[in-house]
Structure 1
């Protein structure tokens, strides 16, 4: 296996967003949330950079293919963003910035509801929150997503903290393999914006494994 987990830096954000866009789109709901050309790359980078700088609990990691790296090729194949609220760190309600190229009403109905459900469950409480995880489609089924989950769940177990995430239908089986269980779901009707399918997010919890 030529995959290794490393800390991700701000300079990795353009590649992480490129992976995100390849992994999640196009699909039947993305044109509703991000009509036209969608959010510009620089806006997405700015939003992520601000969140990382303002939230000290943020830890970003990447999975690198060392064989590709040795060849001088693009080696980052997966990225994940975790919030680890432990010790003196406590969560605060996020200030969402949707940016240009987004359907503000639809984003608030779906992604804003993710924030509200999370906050209702965890306001002021220590926990581990997996906010982003995506793998380059050219490198899926190689275990990169699992490497990210192993890293985060190991941290949660070390700290004795519950873990939380929002999953898509496609991602849910992977999270279940690592001990996450569905505790709620968000279903948003998108027909008022021309959608043909609802947007669904599965809210999942994992209890720490204590030694």
Structure 2
């Protein structure tokens, strides 16, 4: 097993984060919805948007996992942390229904926006209005999956959620569902969203995931009991 180092990512790490991100979600319409196709233009757009989220600070935290021997970034995650919920016009189902994207064009944009609106409205329904922690994204280079990189980051999040006494939400893909369940997250809703290309009905984008919620441990004793399960 490789030696892994977990730390916070910065703007200088974004290019290295994009390699495992695009590789982990290869062939997944979710990746196209959020980050576009794996092209230089899409990567440039993704880099700018990730940098903007880092600059906002506040609720946005990006983590990276490095293989110690090579210094290579093999995994990463994006967390949104809301220790206190402040009502805002931007955090409503109505606002979620108006989201748009500019890094896709034509039919791809039509399908991407439809998928994103459903995603954001569901997020608003479950999470908006109360304090919480959200694992917005977790990815690991396929070559290094099942080496512990994902577990390190999830456990970082569960520890923080317990310290803040807030629930943790996860939009778990089928690949990651077992990891999240193992760390105490329970299913709220299994989601399967499909959108057809209006000009080519044979082309269908599919977004399949499970909305999950983990309740915070109320004490160190409870956390220890959960870890032993």
Give per-residue Cα distances to partners, 1:128-186, cap 9 Å, x unaligned. 00011100111111000000101011100111110012121111111111111110133
Report whether the alignment pairs 1:200 with 2:226. Answer: no
What's the counterpart of residue 189 of structure 2? Answer: 184
Give unpaired runs (5+ residues) of structure 2: 220-229
Q: How does 1:1-211 map to 2 (within 5 A)?
A: 2-27=3-28, 29=29, 33=33, 34=36, 40-54=42-56, 56-69=58-71, 75-87=72-84, 92-93=90-91, 96=99, 98-101=101-104, 103-192=108-197, 194-195=202-203, 198-211=206-219
Distance 1:10 1:39 in 2: 18
TM-score, normalisation: structure 1: 0.84
TM-score, normalisation: structure 2: 0.78
> Would you say the 8 A contact 2:177–2:210 is kept in 1?
yes
Q: Which has the higher contact order (CA 8 A, sep 6+)?
A: 1
> Would you say the 8 A contact 1:32–1:194 is kept in 2?
no
- Segments ≥4 residues shifted beyond 6 Å: 88-91
Give unpaired runs (5+ residues) of structure 1: 70-74
Give per-residue Cα distances to partners, 1:8-54, cap 9 Å, x unaligned. 11111111121111011134x46975569596111111122223333
